[in-house]
Amino acid sequence: MPQSGTGLPPMRTTLEYPYTRTTGPVMGGFLTGVRDGLLLGGRIGERVLCPPLEYDPDTGMPADLDPVEVGPGGAVSSWTWVREPTEAHPFQHPFAFALVVPDGATSGFLHAVDAGSPERMSTGMRVTARFREQRSGTVTDFWFVPEEDGVRPAPPVEGGDPVTLTELPISLTYVEPYHPHRVRFLNGLLEGVITGQRSPVTGKVHVPGRGYDHLERTLMTEEHDVAVADRGTVSSFTEITPVRYHGQKETEPYIRASILLDGSDSPITGVDIRTIPLSEFRVGLRLQAVWKPAAERDIGAFDNRSTGGWEGVIERWEPTGEPDADTRALEEHAF
Amino acid sequence: MSPNFRPVAVVATSLTPVHESFEGPEAALVMTCVNELLETTGLRREEIGFTIAGSCDYLGGTPFSFVMNLEGVGAWPPVYESHLEMDGAWALFEAWLRLQCGDVDTALVVGSGRASAGRTREVFALQTDPYTMAPLGADPVSLAGLQARALLDSGKATEADFAASAARALPGTSAAALLKADYWCDPLRAHDIAAPGDGAAALILVAGDRVRELPGTPVWITGMDHRIESHHLGLRDLTASPSTELAAKGAGAHDGPIDVAELMVVHSPEETILRAALGLDETTSVNPSGGPLAGNPVMATGLARVVEVARRIAAGEARRGLAHASSGPCLQQNLVAVLEGDR
Amino acid sequence: MARPCAVVGIGQTDYRRRLEVSLEGLVRWAALEALSDAGLTFADIDAIVIGKAPDLLEGVMMPELSLADALGAVGKPIHRVHTAGSVGAATAISGVTMVESGRYDRVLVVCYEKQSEGNATWALSGGKSGGQGAGGTFAPWIRSYIRRSGAPEHIGWQVAVKDRKNALRNPHAHLRIPDISVEKVKQSPMLWEPLHFLESCPSSDGAAAVVLASEDLARKGPAEPAWVIAHAKRSEYASFPGRDPVRPRAGVECAEALYRRAGVTDPLRQIDCAELYVPFSWYEPMWLEGHLLAAPGEGWKLTDSGATELGGSFPVNPSGGVLSSNPIGASGLVRCLEAARQVRGTAGEHQVEGAKVALGHAYGGAAQYFAMWLVSSELQPGFG
For the segment A70-87, what is each residue's pLDDT rounded down to a tens digit?
Answer: 999 999 999 999 999 999
| pLDDT tens per residue, range C286-297 | 999 999 999 999
DSSP, collapsed to helix, strand or coil, labels residue B43 as coil
DSSP, collapsed to helix, strand or coil, labels residue C159 as helix
Q: What is the mean pLDDT of residues B217-225?
A: 96
* pLDDT interval class at C128 (50, 70, 90): low
Nearest-Cα residue of chain C relative to residue B208: C1
CA atoms within 13 A on the CB side of B67: 22
Q: Which domains does chain B carry?
A: 8-117+195-213 (3.40.47.10)
Domain match, A194 and A260 both: yes
Q: What pLDDT, on the 0 to 100 scale, is given for residue A3?
A: 34
> pLDDT at residue B342 above 80?
yes
Domain match, A158 and A231 both: no
> pLDDT at residue A244 above 80?
no
Q: Indicate the residue among A163, A189, A214 that finishes a domain.
A: A163
Q: What is the mean pLDDT of residues A152-167?
A: 89
| pLDDT tens per residue, range B328-339 | 999 999 999 999
Is B13 near chain C, with CB under 8 Å? no
Mean pLDDT (chain C) is 95
Q: Quote the CA–CA distance of B184 and B190 in Å, as a whole number.
A: 6
* More confident position, B62 or C107: C107
Q: Quote the CA–CA distance of B243 and B254 in Å, as a whole number.
A: 15
> pLDDT at residue C44 above 60?
yes
Q: Indicate the residue among A132, A163, A194 that finishes a domain.
A: A163
DSSP 8-state symbol, A9: P
Nearest-Cα residue of chain C relative to residue B72: C237
Closest Cβ–Cβ partner in A111, A123, A166 for B136: A111
> pLDDT at residue B237 above 50?
yes
Is A17 near chain C, with CB under 8 Å? yes
Q: What pLDDT, on the 0 to 100 scale, is given for residue A4?
A: 37
User: In this structure, is the dihedral angle defined by the CA atoms of residues A39, A44, A47 and A49, taken in order, positive or negative?
Assistant: negative
Closest Cβ–Cβ partner in B35, B74, B122 for A88: B122
Domain match, A109 and A254 both: no
Q: Do B67 and C238 touch (CB under 8 A)?
A: yes
Mutate one of A21, A304, A332, A335 to test the B interface: name it (highest B CB count within 10 A).
Answer: A304
Does residue A128 form part of some domain? yes
**Which helix or strand (DSSP H or E) is residue B265 part of?**
none
Domain match, A181 and A43 both: no
CA atoms within 13 A on the CB side of A285: 21
Does residue A81 form part of some domain? yes
Does residue A7 form part of some domain? no
DSSP, collapsed to helix, strand or coil, labels residue B331 as coil
Q: What is the mean pLDDT of residues C220-226?
A: 93
Domain match, A58 and A149 both: yes
Q: What pLDDT, on the 0 to 100 scale, is given for residue C241?
A: 85
Q: What pLDDT, on the 0 to 100 scale, is given for residue C262?
A: 97
Q: Out of A190-204, A294-308, C32-46, C333-347, pick the least confident.
A: A294-308
* More confident position, B63 or C378: C378
Q: Do B228 and C74 touch (CB under 8 A)?
A: yes
Is C243 near chain A, with CB under 8 Å? yes
Q: What pLDDT, on the 0 to 100 scale, is given for residue A2?
A: 32
Is A27 near chain B, with CB under 8 Å? yes
Does residue A304 form part of some domain? yes
Q: Quote the CA–CA distance of B339 and C19 in Å, as a whole number.
A: 48
Closest Cβ–Cβ partner in B2, B66, B86 for C103: B2
Q: What is the mean pLDDT of residues B12-38?
A: 97
| pLDDT tens per residue, range B145-174 | 999 999 999 999 999 999 999 999 998 999
Give Dmax (Cα) for chain A.
85
Domain match, A217 and A129 both: no
Closest Cβ–Cβ partner in A21, A258, A332 for C242: A332
* pLDDT interval class at C17 (50, 70, 90): confident
Q: What pLDDT, on the 0 to 100 scale, is given for residue B343?
A: 65
Q: Quote the CA–CA distance of B47 and B31 in Å, as a whole number.
A: 17
Domain match, A126 and A236 both: no
What single letter denotes the amino acid at residue B141? Answer: V
Closest Cβ–Cβ partner in B58, B103, B228 for C55: B58
* Ramachandran assignment for C365, one of left (phi > 0), alpha (psi -120 to 50 degrees), beta (any other): left
- Strand pairing partners for B324? B336
Does residue A258 form part of some domain? yes
Domain match, A297 and A193 both: yes
Q: Do C239 and A215 touch (CB under 8 A)?
A: no
Domain count within chain A: 2
> pLDDT at residue A161 above 50?
yes
* pLDDT interval class at A334 (50, 70, 90): low
Q: Do A86 and B188 touch (CB under 8 A)?
A: no
Looking at chain A, the whole-number percentage of residues with pLDDT higher than 90 is: 74
ipTM of the complex: 0.97
CA distances from C220 to A298, C104, C120, C215 (A): 67, 16, 42, 9
Nearest-Cα residue of chain C relative to residue A173: C127
Say if CB B238 and CB B144 are below 8 A apart.
no
> pLDDT at residue B1 above 60?
no
> pLDDT at residue C225 above 50?
yes
Neighbours of A162 (CB within 10 A): 14
Q: Indicate the residue among A128, A163, A198 that finishes a domain.
A: A163
Q: Of the candidates A65, A44, A46, which has an alpha carbon nearest to the alpha carbon of residue A56?
A: A44
Closest Cβ–Cβ partner in C32, C72, C243 for A332: C243
Say if CB C76 and CB C349 are below 8 A apart.
no
Q: Do A172 and B118 touch (CB under 8 A)?
A: yes
Q: Which chains touch C (3 or more CB pairs under 8 A)?
A: A, B
Is B62 near chain C, with CB under 8 Å? yes
Q: Out of A163-167, A301-305, C97-101, C284-288, pick the least confident.
A: A301-305
Q: What is the mean pLDDT of residues A215-243?
A: 92
> pLDDT at residue C1 above 80?
no
> pLDDT at residue B130 above 80?
yes
* More confident position, B52 or C125: B52
Residues 209-238 of B with CB under 8 A from A: 230, 232-235, 238
Closest Cβ–Cβ partner in B75, B131, B329 for C236: B75
Residues 115-174 of C with CB under 8 A from A: 116-119, 121-123, 126-133, 135-137, 139-141, 144, 147-148
Q: Which chains touch A (3 or more CB pairs under 8 A)?
A: B, C
Q: Of the candidates C347, C360, C341, which has an alpha carbon nearest to the alpha carbon of residue C230?
A: C360
Is C272 near chain A, with CB under 8 Å? no
Contacts of C54 in chain B (CB under 8 A): 57, 63-64
Does residue A203 form part of some domain? yes
- Helix orientation angle between B269-278 and B140-154, rounded to the nearest 10 degrees: 60
Nearest-Cα residue of chain A relative to residue C58: A19
Give Dmax (Cα) for chain C.
57
Domain match, A88 and A186 both: no
* pLDDT interval class at C134 (50, 70, 90): confident
| pLDDT tens per residue, range A93-151 | 999 999 999 999 999 999 999 999 999 999 999 999 999 999 999 999 999 999 999 99
Say if CB C208 and CB C18 are below 8 A apart.
no
Domain match, A188 and A296 both: yes
Does residue A1 form part of some domain? no
Domain match, A321 and A285 both: yes
* Ramachandran assignment for B318, one of left (phi > 0), alpha (psi -120 to 50 degrees), beta (any other): beta
Q: What pLDDT, on the 0 to 100 scale, is given for residue A299?
A: 92
> pLDDT at residue C384 above 80?
no
Domain match, A183 and A159 both: no
Q: Quote the CA–CA distance of B303 and A37 in Å, as a whole number.
A: 47
Q: Which chains touch B (3 or more CB pairs under 8 A)?
A: A, C
Q: What is the mean pLDDT of residues B318-332?
A: 98
Mutate one of C22, C57, C62 to test the B interface: name it (highest B CB count within 10 A).
Answer: C62
Q: What pLDDT, on the 0 to 100 scale, is given for residue B330?
A: 98
User: Whole domain around residue A192: which residue ranges?
Assistant: 176-333
Q: Do C73 and B228 touch (CB under 8 A)?
A: yes
| pLDDT tens per residue, range B173-187 | 999 999 999 999 999
- How far is C328 from chain B, CA to nearest CA, in Å? 14
